[in-house]
Amino acid sequence: MDWLRFGNPEYLHLLWAVPPLIFLFLFGLRQKQNGLLRFHSNVDPTHLKHHRIQAGLLLLSYLCVTLAIARPQWGAKSESVAERLDVIIALDISTSMLAEDEKTVRRLDHAKAFIFSLLDELEGDRIGLLYFAEASFVVCPLTSDTVTLREFLEAITAETLAHSGTRIRNAIETAIDRLIPDQNRTTITSDFGGQKVLILFSDGEDHGREAVEAAKTATQRGVHIYCVGVGSPVRSVPIPLPGDTGTETTPYKRDANGQLVLTALDETRLQEIAKVGDGNYYHATAGITQLATDLARLEKQKFRIRADGDYQERFQWFVAAALILLICEVLHFTLLFRKPRR
């Protein structure tokens, strides 16, 4: 029977005890009847009928308990439907993110504060976290657990940065690889294709030239790219060397000729990537209101989430039936042997 199965089918062997029990009950009842006839010329059939009812109730309760232990299962479990976006947040962790465009406020800290606020707006969506500089790597795959994401963000500090150079193309390609295959998981069925999103947090400095081409590829594969610029586009500032913060004289990055290396926000590059990526560009100082509004306009993907297994547990019905039968047997026994009042 395809519609019925048992979670513990080995306990069904206990049902072999039912025929012997029936035989014992009938044999005992016959012996009792013969014993009564030795002392009485006639036996009240109602009395024997009550004993048959008791025996039947006990047998049925045994049958129900056995079936309950075997865990009968039938009927498809209900499936829940959820709507959400799949969002990869890519954070630039190159040394230029140590620069302070505002006094005592590093670009990295500014970007992290923005992301913390954004996580509140993306409640219910799946979010992944990616760090990139010359190379890129996923530190947290797509998840609805924002607590874990916040812990990863807290862990990245100015003292841990040691990555020079930035290649935005690598970040885009890594994000695509994470966003696209994820829709093929066997436990989740997609009713229709919603939007997938990559949000880049960077100062726009890119030592590669292929970021725009990578953004075009992302768009063709259904990924929207939004860029958040961190830093000042009008003022260049020096880059503190990582690991030397907190000293009285902060050393700054210099080129081969000993000249200070200055950095400024390259909004033009980020705007171009966002435009090609069918997204939008925002400056970090503008807050998250517009970005959250634009993300809310995207068509969210519907997922039918199957429960584990195809059947529902039904043992509760048999436990309840066994309890009712036992209660009926006790009440019947009490009524049978209750002495009439005089």
What is residue 201's predicted lDDT score, i.e. its pLDDT? 95
Given the structure tokens 């726009």, which residue do they identify? Answer: 204
How many separate helices (H) and strands (E) can be counted in the chain? 9, 16
What is residue 286's predicted lDDT score, i.e. its pLDDT? 79
In angstroms, the CA 210 to CA 222 distance is 19
Q: Give the other-Cβ count within 10 Å of 241's Cβ.
A: 15
What is residue 243's predicted lDDT score, i.e. its pLDDT? 61
- Strand 100-102 versus strand 136-143 pairing type: unpaired
Residue 139, classified by CB atoms within 10 Å of its CB into exposed (0-12), middle (13-18) or buried (19+), is middle
Q: What is the pLDDT of residues 221-235, one digit of tens each?
A: 989 999 999 999 888
Q: What is the pLDDT of residues 57-75, one digit of tens each?
A: 888 898 999 999 998 887 7
Cα 13–Cα 15–Cα 19 angle in degrees, nearest 5: 130
Q: Give the other-Cβ count within 10 Å of 295's Cβ.
A: 23
In angstroms, the CA 152 to CA 112 distance is 11
- Strand 223-229 versus strand 196-202 pairing type: parallel
In angstroms, the CA 38 to CA 48 distance is 16
Let me know how long the chain is.
342
Buried b (16+ CB within 10 A) or exposed e, 251-266: ebbeeeeeeeeebbbb
For residue 294, give the 3-state DSSP assignment.
Answer: helix
Which residue type is seen at 126? Answer: R
Buried b (16+ CB within 10 A) or exposed e, 142-154: beeebeebeeebe
Kindly report the average pLDDT of the chain as a whole number. Answer: 81
Residues of the chain with pLDDT under 70: 1-3, 32-48, 76-82, 159, 162-164, 181-194, 207-208, 243-250, 301-310, 333, 335-342
- Name the CA radius of gyration of the chain, rounded: 36
In angstroms, the CA 330 to CA 328 distance is 5
260 forms beta bridges with 254
Question: What is the pTM assigned to this prediction?
Answer: 0.63
